[in-house]
């Protein structure tokens, strides 16, 4: 697919001024030059032209808000002065895998005062003696060259590249972390509510168990009391029978005396 048609598809019924990110990787350039990209993309902040067969960037339009430009895996060998002229606010430039051989070809980048990160992986220039020292000396505004600073410290996420919406990645990560924290807090609250419900259920079951045990104890005590009452009643009946027997004996004794008198 040629570059002009790809740009039309990427617009997706938007106007060029609505676009902040434009990825045209692997499409075909026109004779090694940019085609179909115009200055109407006034709010464009991220442009990717990886492996499109570029030989020159001379047709690049003026994009005053562009922050990050990806030009890796092309055949660019020079003419970088156009970048300084058309992209005054560029901060991240990736030229990895191009035909850059000499430090002198990078000299036009001195005019990019805001340039913070430059990548030249797999370019012949990286094979030169004192390559890193020479580039940092030529471009003092640079913080990172091929992902590392002058002290060979690797670039961290907090140094944030610019994404397609022109927002630092670290800002996006902070937003995601806040959302995750909110989600975690919500989950913790849910767990707390579930735990409270479980505790209430357990307490209810314990109360039922305790009341059941108390009822059983009361029934057991009542049973013991009833047995004692039965025993007491049996004793009273025995006493009454004994007293009845004694009364009969007493009655019989006078009768026996009368019989003796008759004799």
Q: Note the pLDDT tens digit of each residue in 14-52.
A: 999 999 999 999 999 989 999 999 999 999 999 999 999
Residue 222 pLDDT grade (very low, low, confident, very high; cuts 50, 70, 90): very low
Around Cβ 67, how many Cβ atoms within 10 Å? Answer: 23
Two structure tokens written together for 253: 């004794």
Average pLDDT, the chain: 77
Core vs surface per residue 43-65: b (16+ CB within 10 A) or e: bbbbbbbbbbbbbbbebbeebee
Can you tell me the mean pLDDT for 190-215?
Answer: 52
Two structure tokens written together for 98: 């191009």
Tell me what pLDDT residue 40 has: 97
Residue 224 pLDDT grade (very low, low, confident, very high; cuts 50, 70, 90): very low
Name the percent of the chain lying above pLDDT 90: 58
DSSP state for residue 164 in the 8-state scheme: T
Can you tell me the mean pLDDT for 141-149?
Answer: 97
DSSP state for residue 165 in the 8-state scheme: T
Tell me what pLDDT residue 163 has: 47
């Amino acid at each position: 697919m040629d570059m002009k048609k790809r740009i039309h598809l990427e617009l997706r019924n938007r106007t060029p001024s609505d676009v902040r990110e434009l990825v045209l990787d692997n499409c075909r350039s026109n004779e090694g030059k940019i085609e179909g990209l115009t200055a109407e993309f006034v709010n464009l902040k991220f442009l990717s032209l990886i492996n499109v067969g570029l030989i020159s960037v001379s047709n690049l339009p003026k994009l005053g808000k562009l922050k990050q430009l990806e030009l890796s895996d092309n055949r660019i060998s020079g003419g970088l002065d156009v970048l300084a002229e058309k992209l005054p606010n560029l901060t991240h430039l990736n030229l990895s895998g191009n035909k850059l051989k000499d430090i002198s070809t990078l000299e036009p980048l001195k005019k990019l005062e805001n340039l913070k990160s430059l990548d030249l992986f797999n370019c012949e220039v990286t094979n030169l003696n004192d390559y890193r020292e020479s580039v940092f000396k030529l471009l003092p505004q640079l913080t990172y060259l091929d992902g590392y600073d002058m002290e060979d410290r690797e670039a961290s996420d907090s140094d944030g590249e610019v994404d397609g919406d022109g927002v630092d990645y670290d800002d996006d990560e902070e937003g995601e972390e806040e959302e995750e924290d909110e989600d975690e807090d919500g989950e913790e609250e849910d767990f707390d509510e579930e735990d409270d419900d479980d505790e209430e259920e357990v307490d209810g079951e314990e109360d039922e168990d305790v009341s059941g045990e108390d009822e059983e104890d009361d029934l057991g005590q009542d049973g013991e009391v009833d047995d004692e009452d039965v025993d007491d009643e049996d004793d009273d009946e025995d006493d009454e029978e004994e007293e009845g027997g004694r009364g009969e004996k007493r009655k019989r004794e006078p009768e026996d005396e009368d019989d003796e008198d008759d004799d």
